[in-house]
Amino acid sequence: MDDLNLILFSVLSNIFPDKLDLTQIAMKSFARAAPITGRNFLVPEQKIFIMDKLFLAGEINDEDILSSLMEALNDIVKNSYDCISDQI
């Protein structure tokens, strides 16, 4: 796993429904990194991990988290739609 994957894994591993502050930070960080995740969506295990974490974040009723989630999803769809179309 290269450094980028380790960073993405570390960021997304900090999404917890019961830890809003940590999840807010993780989602803001991921939203900024989302435009460069295209190659991660070519690896099925990485794609599933990313999307599962994003769906988990989407279940949290917090405006900051949901805003970051929508920003990230927007960038993912713009850059990697062909890779995620079977996931949504």
Residue-wise pLDDT tens digits, 14-73 = 999 999 999 999 999 999 999 888 889 888 889 899 999 999 999 999 999 999 999 999
pTM, full prediction: 0.85
Q: Cα-flanking dihedrals φ and ψ of residue 72, to 5°? A: -65, -45
Give CA–CA dist 5/20, Å, rounded: 24
Predicted local distance difference test score (pLDDT) of residue 83: 66
CA dihedral 27, 69, 49, 87 (to 10 degrees): -170
